[in-house]
Structure 1
Amino acid sequence: MQQLMLKFLYVVALLRYPGIRRDLRYFIRDNYYARLNQIRFLWADYFVKKPYKVIDYHGEFDQELRYVLPFAYWHHLNGTLKKTISCTNTREFYFFSENHSETYEKRVWQAGYGYYEVPNMTHSPTFSYTKFAQVPFKRHYKNDLFTYGKPILVIANKYNIEWDKPPINFLGIPELDRIISSYKQKYQIIYNRPLSSQIVLDNSEIMDLNEHDWIRKQHPEVILMHDLHEQYRAKVNNFNHLQLLVYANTDWFISMHGGTAALASYFGGTNLILSHPGGGMEHHFNEYATIFPALSGAKILHAKNTNEVFRYLNEHY
């Protein structure tokens, strides 16, 4: 029955989006099926309204942020959330869950495929916000610990394998030097590029950009998230907890394609995302204008190359 329904929904996607690439219709089909799957829970969600929903996910971090967390928080608000299950060091993301289990030690990107338990489960030109609630990270984690004399600007960089190719979406040392030199007087810049020892990995191998020591020497005014982690180990539970605390006090972000961009979109303010065409599906479905701002109401600026990064910085920062 499921296979027949998926075939039918592929035809629906073809008829509704005849101009879209054939392989992209599978994403649309899967999202249609995921939304229809929610009909099974109509009585439990809207009439019985007792805790029953167990949300179990260990796929890509990006998908968890964009789709799973807002779904889990909706169930929390609805009174129907029973338990959440995810990876190591995710308890702080699920602060609202009274029963959260950190079962998985590694993310498996394939786990996101065929996962129809969440209404929005993959890329799509449209999303359902019926069972979608903004997770109030900013309100919950706002603090007096990470405050400075100037507003914070977080540069959330990355440097890892993308789609089995060398790094594509990242800021190199020349770009970092230009940004830091231009904006360190106006902002307290905090630089964040997690190491493999600080987060749970999926299929994206983290590589060495050799920028941390360079920043310490050339721009000592910049605060490194690594250094904050060492300094506040006794006050934070893990690196994810630290990110949430720092980001909650921030209104200005520069982030990279993927989970880095999704996390920075959770805190309102302005998030400038570098995402080159040719890799992720976000471009094909215009998702930087839909699901990303929906996460918190943040203003999303999508730069397709480093020249656009500097143009947006000049116009908005």
Structure 2
Amino acid sequence: MKSLLLKSLYVLAALRYPRIRPDLRYFVRDNYFARLNQIRFWRADFLTRAPYKVIRFYGEFDQEIRYVLPFAYWHFLNGTLKQTIASKNTKPFYFFSPDHVEKYEKRVWEAGYGNYSIPNMTHAPHFDFSKWVRVPFKAHYQNNVFVYDKPLLIIANKYNIEWDKPPINFLDIPALDRLLSGLKSRYQVIYNRPLGEQIVHDNSEIMDLGEHAWLRTTHPDVLLMNDLFDQHRQVVENFNHLQLMVYANCNHFISMHGGTAALASCFGGTNILLSYPGGGFEHDFNEYETLFPALSGARILHAKSRDELLRIVEKTY
């Protein structure tokens, strides 16, 4: 029965979106199936409305930010959230959960596929927001600790294996130098690229860009998130808690494709993100104009190359 329904939904996806590549229609099919799966919870969600929903996820961080957390927050507001189970150091993201369990030591990217328990779980041309509510990270985590004389600007970089290939979406040292030389006089820049031991890994191996020592020498007025973590261990529970507190005080972001860009899109303001064409299905489904702005109402400016990002930053910031 399930197999037949999935085949039928694939045909429906092909009929409704004939211009979408055949291999990408599987994403549409899976989202259709996931939404249909919600019908069986109608009574519990809208009639009895007692706490029953246990949400378990240990897949990619990007999916957790985009799909899982807004679904869990909807259940919290609906009065039906019972428990959330996720990877270690995720409690700050689930601050609203009545019972959050940090169970998993490692993220498994395959865990997000074939997971039909959440209405939106994969890429799609349109999303179902009926059980999806933006999480108020900014309002919850704004603070008086990370306040500076100049407005904050966060550069959220990454340098890791992407799709089993060498790094694609990242800012190299020459690009960082050009950005910082033009920005640091007007902004208190905070540079964020987590070290391997500070976040939970998935299949994307973190590599050494060698920029932290260079930043301390060449741009000593730029603050490093890693250093802030060492300085404020008495205030923050873990590195994720630190990121949420710092990001909540910021309205200017530069970020990279993936979870880095998704997190930076959760705090309003403007997020200029780098995502090369061909390096992710967000392009095919136009998600930088649909889902990413929905995460917080942020203004999303998508750069398709480092040079384009530099031009947008110079024009915008």
- The TM-score range, normalised by the shorter chain, is over 0.9
1:180-229 per-position Cα deviation (integer Å, ceiling 9, x unaligned)? 00010000000000011000000000000000000000000000001000
Task: Report the equivalent of 1:80.
Answer: 80
Does 2:229 match 1:229? yes
Task: Please give the per-residue CA displacement for 1:277-304, whole angstroms capped at 9, x wherever unaligned.
Answer: 1121000000000110000000000000
Q: Residue 196 of structure 2 aligns to a residue in which SS? A: coil
1-side partners of 2:112 and 2:313: how far apart?
A: 34
Distance in 1 between residues matched to 2:315 and 2:298, nearest whole Å: 17
Q: Hey, what does 1:58 align to over in structure 2?
A: 58
For the residue of structure 2 that corresponds to 1:130, the secondary structure is coil
1:137-170 Cα shifts (integer Å, max 9, x gaps)? 0000000000000000000000000000000000
Could you tell me how far apart the structure 1 residues matched to 2:276 and 2:247 are?
24
> Where has structure 1 moved over 3 Å in runs of 4 or more?
none
Unaligned runs of 5+ in 2: none
Distance, in Å, in 2 between the alignment partners of 1:20 and 1:264 is: 28
- Give the aligned partner of residue 132 of structure 2: 132
In structure 1, what is the equivalent of residue 101 of structure 2?
A: 101
Q: Counterpart in 2 of 1:305? A: 305
SS across alignment from 2:64:
helix
Per-residue deviation, residues 80-139 of structure 1 (Å, max 9, x unmatched): 000000000000000000100001000000100110011100000100000011100000
TM-score by length of 1: 0.99
- Following the alignment from structure 1 to structure 2, what is the Cα–Cα distance between the partners of residues 196 and 26? 33
Q: Please state if 1:91 is matched with 2:91.
A: yes
Task: Output the CA distance in 2 between the equivalents of 1:255 and 1:103.
Answer: 28
- Code of the residue aligned with 2:219 in structure 1: it is H
| Counterpart residue identity of residue 266, structure 2 | Y
Q: Which position in structure 1 is the counterpart of 2:37?
A: 37
* Residue matched to 1:148: 148
AA partner of residue 107 (structure 1): R
Distance 1:230 1:314 in 2: 32
Give the counterpart letter for 1:61 in structure 2: F
Q: Secondary structure at the match of 1:46?
A: helix
Cα distance in 2 for partners of 1:273, 1:99 equals 34
- Residues in 1 aligned to 2:208 and 2:179: alpha-carbon distance in whole angstroms: 20
Distance 2:94 2:120 in 1: 18
Percent of paired sites with the same residue = 68
User: Alignment partner of 1:121: what SS?
Assistant: coil
* Structure 1 unaligned regions, length at least 5: none
How far off its partner does 1:272 sit? 0.5
CA distance in 1, matches of 2:4, 2:40: 18
Please tell me whether residue 259 in structure 1 is matched to residue 259 in structure 2: yes
Equivalence for 1:210: 210
The corresponding residue for 1:122 is 122
1:189 — aligned with what?
A: 189
Could you tell me how far apart the structure 2 residues matched to 1:48 and 1:316 are?
Answer: 49
- Alpha-carbon separation, structure 2, partners of 1:40 and 1:316: 47
Amino acid at match of 1:301: L
Q: Which residue of 1 aligns with 2:26?
A: 26
State the one-letter code of the partner of 1:36: L
Q: Aligned with 2:227: secondary structure?
A: helix
Give the corresponding residue for 1:268: 268
Write the distance in 2 (CA, Å) between the matches of 1:207 and 1:100.
31
Deviation at 1:315, TM superposition (A): 2.1
Secondary structure of 1:155's aligned partner: strand
SS in 2 for 1:287: coil
Counterpart amino acid of residue 237 in structure 1: E
SS across alignment from 1:171: coil
Q: Which residue of 2 aligns with 1:67?
A: 67
Match of 1:164 in 2: 164
Residue aligned with 1:115, SS: coil
Q: Which residue of 1 aligns with 2:282?
A: 282
Cα displacement (A) at 1:308: 1.3
TM normalised by structure 2 equals 0.99
Distance in structure 1 (CA, Å) of the matches to 2:273 and 2:116: 28
State the one-letter code of the partner of 2:312: Y
Alignment partner of 1:45: what SS?
helix
